[in-house]
Amino acid sequence: MGIQGKNYIGYSLSAEGERTFQSYIPSKDRFLPEDFRCATQSEVSRAMALAENACDEYSSVSASKRADFLIAITEEITALGDELLERAHLETGLAIARLQGERARTINQLTQFAELLREGSWIEASIDTALPDRTPVAKPDIRKMLVPIGPVIIFGSSNFPFTYSVAGVDSGPALAAGNPIIVKAHSAHPGVSDLTAQAVVKAAKRTAMPDGVFSMLYDDGFEVGTALVKHPASKAVGFTGSFKGGMALYKLAQEREEPIAVFAEMGSVNPIVILPGYLKSNAEEFGKTLAASVTLGAGQFCTNPGLVFVTESEGLGVFEDSYQQEIENTASATMLTAGICKNYNKLKQEVFEQANVSELAISEKLSVGENQAQASIARVSGKSFIANPKLHEEVFGPFSLLIVCEDTEELLEAVSHLKGQLTATLMAQDEEISTYPGIVRKLSKISGRFILNGVPTGVEVCPSMHHGGPFPATADARFTSVGRHSILRFVRPQSYQGWPNSLLPNELKDSNPLGIYRLINNVLTRNQV
């Protein structure tokens, strides 16, 4: 039905407010014609009230019906076809092939949650049967499972218009767990958000979900997001973006009368440490691999390798030459927004202006279009890095800093200054790993994902993926935003004591009608009680 530009409040469209904004096309530095209407405070209240009302009904929809809903979303997204891809290409400047991959990942994520719901064991059912004759006191019958928490607020991100947006890594698990969601659409891609919202609404209607299970609101400022986080009915927040943005939401959520969890992914420099043995044997090849990782998607990934540590050892020259050559041969690329491009140029300039920082490589091929980012690699000594905290910070975009340490002792010291990260990567020959236990321990301690001989870009959607990490990479290192365990952000355990079988949820009935794994008297089994 084309882009509506109105707020999606449950099954209704709403355009109460006066304030509007338009889609910006970064590659052309101009705007598309449609107006998107910023939500008013009363629209926020209506969306929240609908969500709160929908909680009871939605939480009692069976897991298999919720799975149908998720699959219906994937079908409706697929049905949007090229219109969705082309709009995303216009609004983000990302290449169509990259967007096709992202759409496939989004559909894969939702499908994985549907499968998780259908299998059912994720609910962590646990049963302890009664011992009425136990002395000195009888043991009651106690059973436990995970239950939904209530309305979840989700902020779309700028860099993944599908995967971290309206029907992405937060929406999928929040809906799968049985919670209504209210999405604040990212203002950098309102058209993609609008089309995706239509897909979600269609899927919800088609599978008879309650009105209010999904709402999406527009705003090109902070008012709507602030009001959503502060609303008493909100029970959790999902966010991916800058440290500043994440911490602002975190503080808002903590200052509520009832504090709520904010799952904020806030940026990471994803350090790579290259040990001498590895450098010696792989200098030329890894220079190329690294350049590809730094420039992938114009460097606009949360797992972009922003700091690379090496020592002055055999192979360094070959590595630097290869890295430099590859970067210089990389074409510039359109960034997501004018603001991101401006900020990229400013921050990288600031790094180049620091003492003892030199330029290793700048991409020389300029692509056609506006808001172009040139990949840029800076170089600094270990000593200067250690002395200057400014150099430890993230520069969002195709930028990376090469830190050349005198020896592995200085390398260890340099690495000891690193804070929490989504990923840390060690490039090493197997036999040299045990030689540097301090470096290994430090990288392990600060990282959510610890990679050996790879690059951090590329986040596999699988159960073993932990996409999260110690603060300040995320607000809560105990939870991942990718993979099946991300659903644990949006549930809480609840015990039922003394309830008869007929009144218990299916997950906890003696007969195990869902055939799920359960912990019965502390033994994991799919048997009946």
Q: Give the residue numbers marked as catalytic.
A: 265, 302
Element (H, E) at 205: helix 190-206
Could you say whether residue 98 binds a copy of itself (CB under 8 A)?
A: no
> What DSSP designation does 230 have?
H
Specify the residue, 19 or 118, whose C-beta has the smaller distance to a copy of itself: 118
The string of DSSP codes covering 10-39 is: TTEEE---S-EE--EETTTTEE-S--EEPP
Closest alpha carbon to 175 in 506, 462, 487, 485 = 487
Element (H, E) at 184: strand 181-184
Specify the residue, 19 or 230, whose C-beta has the smaller distance to a copy of itself: 230
Query: Residues 494, 525, 527, 528: which binds a copy of itself (CB under 8 A)?
Result: 494
Query: Residues 144, 184, 186, 202: which binds a copy of itself (CB under 8 A)?
Result: 144
Could you say whether residue 46 binds a copy of itself (CB under 8 A)?
A: no
Could you say whether residue 418 binds a copy of itself (CB under 8 A)?
A: no
Specify the residue, 259 or 513, whose C-beta has the smaller distance to a copy of itself: 259
> What DSSP designation does 421 have?
E
Cβ-contact 350, 342 below 8 angstroms: no
Closest alpha carbon to 371 in 97, 93, 21 = 93
Could you say whether residue 250 binds a copy of itself (CB under 8 A)?
A: yes
Entry field: residues in the chain: 529
Tokens of 164: 């971290």
Question: Residues 495-514: x/- map of binding to a copy of itself (CB under 8 A)?
Answer: xxxxxx-xx-----------
Could you say whether residue 525 binds a copy of itself (CB under 8 A)?
A: no
Residues sharing a CB contact under 8 Å with residue 48, sequence separation 6 or more, in sequence order: 151, 182, 228, 231, 233, 234
- CA dist 492 and 477 (Å) reads 17
Question: Residues 196-235: x/- map of binding to a copy of itself (CB under 8 A)?
Answer: ----------------------------------------
Query: Residues 49, 95, 142, 318: which binds a copy of itself (CB under 8 A)?
Result: 142
- Tell me the closest approach of the beta carbon of residue 65 to a copy of itself, in angstroms: 19
- CA dist 223 and 39 (Å) reads 9
Name the burial class of residue 110, with classes exposed (0-12), middle (13-18) and buried (19+) by CB atoms within 10 angstroms of its CB. Answer: buried
Could you say whether residue 285 binds a copy of itself (CB under 8 A)?
A: no
Footprint of a copy of itself on residues 464-493 (CB under 8 A)?
A: 464-466, 468, 470-472, 475-478, 480, 484-485, 488, 491-493
Where along the sequence are the contacts to a copy of itself (CB under 8 A)?
56, 101, 121, 126-128, 136-137, 139-140, 142-144, 147, 149, 250-251, 254, 258-259, 261, 419-420, 430, 433, 441, 444, 447-454, 458, 460, 462-466, 468, 470-472, 475-478, 480, 484-485, 488, 491-500, 502-503, 517, 519, 522, 524
